[in-house]
Structure 1
Amino acid sequence: MTEPILPRIRPEIAALAPYRQGKQAGPDAFKLSSNENPFDPLPSVLEALQGTTPINRYPDASATRLRERLGARYGVGVDNVHVASGSVAILYQLVQAAASVGDEVIYAWRSFEAYPGLVLVAGATAVQVPLAEGGRHDLDAMADAVTDRTRAIIVCTPNNPTGPIVTSAEFAAFVDRIPSDVLIILDEAYAEFVTAADAVDGLGERVFETHPNIVVLRTFSKAYGLAGLRVGYAIGHVQVLNAARATGIPLSVTSAAETAAIASLDAEAELLERVAVIVERRTALADGLRSQGWDVPDTQSNFVWLPTGERTDEIAEAFRGADIVVRPFSGDGIRISVGEHESIEKVLRVAADVHS
């Protein structure tokens, strides 16, 4: 039987590995591979979902109610807010809008593993700038990497998967070095977990007003516990966000996601109490690992990073053998999400066994 003749696919896309989600966990395992919120949705959020638009009707294409709510919260117009199916969707839209063949997109590495793929899909060239000591962004090196081909720069703070933040002073000095016609995407997916007083806060500092080339990204997936509904947002200049909207897939934010996000904002005080619990667990986990001799970076997110190097796959397998699903990055390290209270002691026990 002869092989069928298939449509021609761009060679770089054919060679691109699909995004790899954190492994799913069995019924008795702790899933600490995807940075999810371990708490169930609040009862008030579940109640709000009971009254969402029937699924035989299309959602509001622009999520107007949520955009109005976020605009009021941050003191911006509704058109300064863009909502999509997760902040990663907005990342794709912005890179598609800003960069194409012959252009460059700069980001730190290692950082969020979706970055290389979204740049490649746009046809642009990725410029990966190695992290500095301690898993931190090297913003000076990133600024040095700017050329006349640079169209966008992504800054992830706290950095996924290593955890450290970019400080407000560092970010301000960095922005001053970047041409005003280069898009700066400030990816703050884990902002609610930050306790460091000197961390940059793109929305609180309103950096998008003083520098229209900056777009700030946030999500409801992590702190708000809506990862399964996929809803994130961006705040920025209207023309930049219009470009993102133009590249987006229509009707991608469901009515359920919009309703749950609004209900979560209504219950924000209660949700942030849960965030405080996760931060306490993060501190206990990081301190416990450091006491064993692990070189854990100063994480400000809902995960910790183990720089396991060549032993990464071996150590990840040891965790799996103990019913703990973690996120390994072969040859580099392991990211462990902060999960249920009962998981902390178990993670520390396995980490102590494999440490040498």
Structure 2
Amino acid sequence: MTIRLRNLSATPAYKPGKAAPTDAPDAHTVFKLSSNENPYPPLPSVVRALEEQLDSVNRYPETAASALTRLLCERFDVEPENVVFGSGSVEIISQLMRATAGAGDEIVFAWRSFEAYPMLAVAAGATPVAVPLTPTHEHDFAAMLAAITPRTRLILVCNPNNPTGTTISADALEDFLAKVPAEIVVVVDEAYLQFNRRPDTAIGVDAMRRHDNVVVAHTFSKAYGLAGLRVGYALAPETVATALRQVALPFGVTSLAQAAAVASLHAETELDIRVDELVAERDRVGAALAEQGWELPASGGNFLWFPLGDDTTTAADVFEEHGLLVRPFAGDGLRVTIAEREANDRIIAAGAALRSSLLQQTAVAELELS
């Protein structure tokens, strides 16, 4: 008897960032810069909050996450009915896809953007519609509007965009939203919001207040350093939020995750210092690479994007030779996470070595053609 399963051969697989070895003698010299993780350990207050929950993990978590909901409502001036939780913002995106689209429907997003978008769309039964970025690695809103059809149910806008780091102005987003049909839900994915220092950047919550079809996705994985606990949330109009709850995984956010998120919100002054340090390191590394001759897109995330095209795989090997595991996207480029200062210094060194190698290759090729 053959077991009947869905044909998932066309479903793109999500590839997690390459992990550093744990059994090699020099494992401590290898830095994992492939997953946009926060390099700082949890704050002591967060650890204490987790410890206080350990003797009750035999109980299911509170579905409403009332303490966390209350803090987010105060922060964003929304009602509890507007807040929906999931195990990371990726699960929030999955909820939105399942709540809005199905077989025959389309989900539009820029590409390259978050790698999970096409995978989640196909898993929801919908058709992913990837719209190429502009030559400067930004959302092409004109092309995204042209990609809308009667089958479009959801549009994803990632700001800052992962993996390119490019950001979106408030005016550009507002112009785009004004032209999107009101019945189509638009998600502003702000996983890297806290690292974005663009003065005129689009703010998802502001857009949500002006448009009844806008949803905002946030996470505690990046700036708050809770990637291992998986907690994210959506801020959404009540009708959309109700639909998200109907497709949400029951008890999807654990009691540990809720406690850590609450403690993190209370400790934001300390966490902001860490974010500021990562932003300063991002800018320091970016400036050093620019001096080497690199023309990288300005990043609003905790990472940098090297648009290397066909040289991507070879370039990833150069970084690995410097003890850095990065995130290559074959044929497009590679993303490097900003981490500890030693790792960041190695990014600069690897960038210099790679730049020299590529220039040498170019010179040889030109010589052969002459």
TM-score scaled by structure 1?
Answer: 0.96
- Counterpart of 1:237 in structure 2: which amino acid? P
C-alpha distance in 2 between matches for 1:247 and 1:8: 24
Residue pairs, 1:159-238, within 5 angstroms: 159-203=161-205, 205=206, 207-238=207-238
Match of 1:104 in 2: 106
Match of 1:32 in 2: 33
Q: Secondary structure at the match of 1:52?
A: helix
- Counterpart of 2:275 in structure 1: which amino acid? V
Q: Secondary structure at the match of 2:52?
A: coil
Shift of 1:322: 2.1
C-alpha distance in 2 between matches for 1:75 and 1:58: 29
Contact 2:84/2:233 (<8 A) preserved: yes
Deviates more, 1:111-120 or 1:44-53: 44-53
What RMSD over aligned residues (CA atoms) do the two structures have, in Å? Answer: 1.1
In structure 1, list runs of 5 or more residues that go unmatched. Answer: none
C-alpha distance in 2 between matches for 1:7 and 1:286: 52
C-alpha distance in 1 between matches for 2:198 and 2:286: 15
Shift of 1:44: 0.9
Match of 2:4 in 1: 8
- Counterpart of 2:117 in structure 1: which amino acid? Y
C-alpha distance in 1 between matches for 2:172 and 2:195: 19
- Counterpart of 1:7 in structure 2: which amino acid? I
Match of 1:296 in 2: 296
Match of 1:85 in 2: 87
Shift of 1:41: 0.9
Q: Secondary structure at the match of 1:94?
A: helix
Match of 1:326 in 2: 326
Structure 1 residue 276 and structure 2 residue 272: aligned?
Answer: no
Structure with higher helix content: 2
C-alpha distance in 2 between matches for 1:70 and 1:111: 27
Shift of 1:17: 4.1
Contact 1:134/1:298 (<8 A) preserved: no
- Counterpart of 2:159 in structure 1: which amino acid? T
Contact 1:193/1:301 (<8 A) preserved: yes
Q: For 1:13-52, what per-residue CA distance to the aligned partner results, in whole angstroms no more than 9, with x for missing partners? A: 1342431110111332111100011111111111111111
> Between Structure 1 and Structure 2, how many residues are aligned?
349
Contact 2:12/2:118 (<8 A) preserved: no
- Counterpart of 2:48 in structure 1: which amino acid? E
C-alpha distance in 2 between matches for 1:6 and 1:168: 53
Deviates more, 1:212-221 or 1:24-33: 24-33
Shift of 1:131: 0.3
- Counterpart of 1:45 in structure 2: which amino acid? V
Match of 2:129 in 1: 127
% identical equivalent positions: 45
Residue pairs, 1:308-323, within 5 angstroms: 308-323=308-323
Contact 1:82/1:233 (<8 A) preserved: yes
